[in-house]
Every structure is written in C-alpha cells, then in structure tokens.
Amino acid sequence: MLLVGWGIWRIKATISTVFLALLITIVGISHRLETWFTSLWQSVGAEHTQETGNVMELSVSLWLGPLQVAGIFLGLIALLQRITQPGQFPKPRVSPGILAQNGLTLLIVAAAVYFSITAMIAASLTKGIGVHPTNLALALEMEIDSVSNTDHVQRGYFEADLEHIDSIRRAHPEFGDLLYPLHWHVDAEVIDMFGEMLPDMKRRVINQMIASDQANLVDGLKQEDKDTLLAWYQTQRRNAIDYLNKLTEGLLSLTYKLKVPGSVAFADLIMEYERKLPGRFAPGEVPKRSKQGDFLGIFEEYMGWLLEIESYSLVMIIGMAGFGLLGAVSGNFIKEAGRRKEKGGAMIEDLSGVMIKGFTAALVIFLGIQGSLAVLGNGMEPPDSNLLFFMALVGSVFSDRAWDWAKSKFEETLAKDKGEGESTAPDNDLGMDEHNEAPDFSPPYVSPSTEQSQPQEFPLETQPPTEHPAEGLHLRLDPALQKGQSGAESEDDEVRPNFLA
C-alpha cells in the first residue's frame, strides 16, 4: 500500500511536467502534422491540388496555427501551476487570480520577445542591406531567345504536314468536306501558338523578371527568380509543341486511313479522331516573384507577415514596441524581487502601468530621433535599427528618465522659439536699424557748460599718474580738479579721484 501511495503521489506531482512536455512536443511537430494531414487529404481524393489541405473549408495551417498558440499558453499555465508561495512546506499553489496575472505576464514577455526578434531580422532586409540594382531581365530575354531560336523550324514542320494533308484533300475530292474543317482547325492552332501564345508567355516572363529586379530582394533571390522563370517558359513551350504534334499526327493518321480501300465508314473514322483529340493547350500561371525572407527557413513562416510590409519605419515601430515592453517588464521584475521574496504574490503587480510606460517610452524615443533627423535636413539615411532598439530597451527600463529627457527637449524648443520671437532686428551686414537707416557715427553735440562740468580724459602719455600718499596707488586725477575749476575754492576741500577702469 505504501508503494502504491508513493507511486500515485509521484504521478500527481509530475503530471503537469508531463503535460507541458507533451504540449511542447505537439507544437514542435505541428509542421510535420500539417504535411501529414495534407498528404492524407490528397490521398482520399482531393480534386484540386492547389486547394488540398482543406478540412471543412478550413485550411490545415489555419487551425494548426491557433493550436500552436493554445499549446504554448497551456504549457505556460502548467508551468505556473508549479509556482508556490515562498517559505512554506508543503508548498501550496498560488491563487487563481495571481496565476492568471502571471500567465498574462509571461504571454506579454513571449510576445515582446517575438516582436523584438522578428523586427531585428526584418529591419536589415526592409532597409535594403545586401540589395543591389540588377538587370537580370535582359539576361533572361537573351536565354529565352536562345531556347526558342528553333521555333521557326518547328513551325515549318507543322506547315509541311498541313500542306501534305491539303494535297491529299485535293487529290481526293470526296474527302474534301470531311478534311477541310479538321485541316483548318490544326492550321489555326499552329498560327495561334507561334504567333500569339509563345510571344505572350515570353512577355509575361520578362515583365515578372523586371518586377523582381526592381523589388527589395537580395541578389540570390533575384537569380533564383530568373532560373525559375526560364524553367517555366521551357516547360510551357515544350507542352505547346507536344500539343501541336498530337494534332498533326492524328490528322495524318486519319488521312492515311481514308486513302486505304475498303476502310471503315468515314463517320466512324471522324468520331475516332475527335475522341483522341488532346485538350487544348493553355499556359499556366507565371511563377510569383520571391519574397524577402524566403531564404530564412523556419523563421520565414513566423515573420513573413512583417517582411511583406516592406516599410522600414513600420518595422522600427513594431520592434521598438517589442523592446519597450520587454525592457519595462524585465526592469520591474528585477525591481520587485525583494517584494516577491518577502510577501510573495504576482510577478508584477501593476502590469497595465508597466505596459503603458514601456510602450510610450519607446514611442517617445522613436519620435524624438525621427524629429531630430527631420530638423537636421531631408534626404538623410534612416537611423540604425540596432541603435533604436537599444535606446528603446534602455529607455523603457528607465522610462521616467526618458520622459524627463523629452521634457527637457520640449523646454529647449520652446525657449528657442521664444528667443527668436523677441529679436525683431533683422540680421544684415550693413548695420541697418529697424527703420532701414544707417546709424550716425558722428560724436554727439555737447554744450560748453556741459563740456566744462564733465571730466576730460587725456592720453596716458600727457597725463602721468599721481601717487596717492595714503594708499600708494597710481591714480589719474581729474584735470579740472587739479586746476581748481571745479568750484573748490579752498585747498582743504577733498579732492575726489577719478578711477578709470
């Protein structure tokens, strides 16, 4: 009994771990499951190959995507069920509210990491790093011309066969009414194939290659597009010629049978010929051009939506939002380590406030840098993505300081605008005043009485310094006071020195 109880306790203790491992395994092999379900659906008789993998009008990848998300979320819940309050034994489980908040926190962290990584990869691709101007359309046109240089020879063979059939029709007038419409049909197909279809396929392929040349693609993907388009044209051309061969061979066989004496009825031969006619050739769709990121492997499946945007600014906003949330959550998680150790509870208490701070701090930094670049001048290269992501991560951790930085920049701008508004005099090299008049550099008029009452200064060479007996300072005294013209009649009057700076 003790052994059985111990086994049951062990199973109960490890059931969440097993559940978590099972969910991770399912998520890991979900792509294989999608391939398997698609193959199974094709094997049971799907009519259209391009629409295989649809179960109850829902694509397999469509319902396996939410399965992956649900698997990850349930795996996080199973992991959170193992979290317990500290300092207690046996360890009780946390309350449902805290468990839900912790689950939401981990989900936000997972989303932030996802947006951060995808934006880091997509930034360099959308910015055009490794993209060079190419003209592979011209090279493709030359290769197509070399492939189709025997078209006139092939057309000559078909026209010779038709001429032979026409000669048989003229030699046997009794077959004329039967062979004329068949001859006319094959002749029209030959003319249409070499005059319209093949040149039209060439134009479509060249236009698709021109689009690839102008797209934001690395050189390897452009070369792959060229090879794919050339192979498609060769395949379609071969199918077209095979179709014409079957038409002419069938018509020749019919005419030979008509020439044999004692052959079956004409109507039976015509019915047999029409039954063996191949379906009319129709070229397929031109392969679509590659997308930036087709060479990323498994990452392309999870970040293809971001690469299809092809907007560097939008990728920056998404990436900075991811880094902002990641920095805000991690920063508050570290700050609240002491609180969790003492009181326990949720990983982060004010989760909504953390999200708002992180997101707004990232936007403040992004708008501040973009605004600064706009002030400096137009046509400048956009800022480096790694620098913006780093600033968003650090700014979200210290979001208060980021807002202080934005406040200081705002105050500097207001002070600059105010200073410019107060200065009304225009800047010019001629020294004009506000009335556009030249300034008067002549000395001002001074009356004689005012001239005598004001002190006069002389050059240092004509006025030697006088030593003050009390302080030993070399001073220049007012000449008017030395001569007694200042109204001082008595020698006992105090002589006031004139200190010159």
What is 104-170 written as a DSSP string? HHHHHHHHHHHHHHHHHHHHHHHHTTT-----HHHHHHHHHHHHGGGHHHHHHHHHHHHHHHHHHHH
pLDDT above 90: residue 233: yes
Contact 246, 186 (CB under 8 A): no
SS (H, E, C) 283-299: CCCCCCCCCCCCCCCHH
pLDDT digits 0-9 by tens, 30-44: 555 555 555 555 444
Look at residue 374 in the predicted model and tell me its pLDDT.
Answer: 65
pLDDT above 70: residue 441: no
Q: Is the dihedral of CA 485, 491, 494, 497 positive or negative?
A: positive
pLDDT bracket for residue 76 (50, 70, 90): low
Share of the chain above pLDDT 90, in %: 4
pLDDT bracket for residue 153 (50, 70, 90): confident
Task: Give the pair of three-digit tokens for residue 494.
Answer: 């105090």
pLDDT bracket for residue 462 (50, 70, 90): very low
Look at residue 168 in the predicted model and tell me its pLDDT.
Answer: 74
How high is the mean pLDDT of the chain? 69
Q: What is the mean predicted confidence (pLDDT) over 211-221?
A: 81
pLDDT bracket for residue 263 (50, 70, 90): low
Look at residue 379 in the predicted model and tell me its pLDDT.
Answer: 53
Look at residue 46 in the predicted model and tell me its pLDDT.
Answer: 41
Name which of 352, 366, 358 is nearest 325 in CA terms. Answer: 358
Q: What is the mean predicted confidence (pLDDT) over 173-188?
A: 77
Q: What is the mean predicted confidence (pLDDT) over 226-234?
A: 92
Range in 139-148, 162-171, 353-362 with the lowest mean pLDDT: 162-171
Look at residue 501 in the predicted model and tell me its pLDDT.
Answer: 40
Look at residue 129 in the predicted model and tell me its pLDDT.
Answer: 63
Q: Is the dihedral of CA 84, 89, 92, 98 positive or negative?
A: negative
Range in 15-24, 177-186, 488-497 with the lowest mean pLDDT: 488-497
The residue that leads in pLDDT, 61 or 218, is 218
Q: What is the mean predicted confidence (pLDDT) over 452-476?
A: 46
Residue that is written with structure tokens 């670049």 in the block: 373
Q: What is the mean predicted confidence (pLDDT) over 195-208?
A: 91
Q: What is the mean predicted confidence (pLDDT) over 458-469?
A: 47
Query: Cα separations (Å) of 183 from 179, 249, 259, 471?
Result: 6, 12, 16, 135
Q: What is the mean predicted confidence (pLDDT) over 127-155?
A: 83
pTM of the predicted model as reported, rounded to 2 decimal places: 0.53
Residue that is written with structure tokens 């000669």 in the block: 167
Contact 273, 251 (CB under 8 A): yes
Share of the chain above pLDDT 70, in %: 57
pLDDT digits 0-9 by tens, 366-410: 887 777 766 665 556 677 788 888 888 887 787 667 667 767 777
User: CA 72, CA 62: separation in Å to the nearest integer?
Assistant: 16
pLDDT bracket for residue 235 (50, 70, 90): very high
Look at residue 94 in the predicted model and tell me its pLDDT.
Answer: 57
**Nearest-10 crossing angle of helices 151-171, 176-192:** 170
pLDDT above 90: residue 9: no
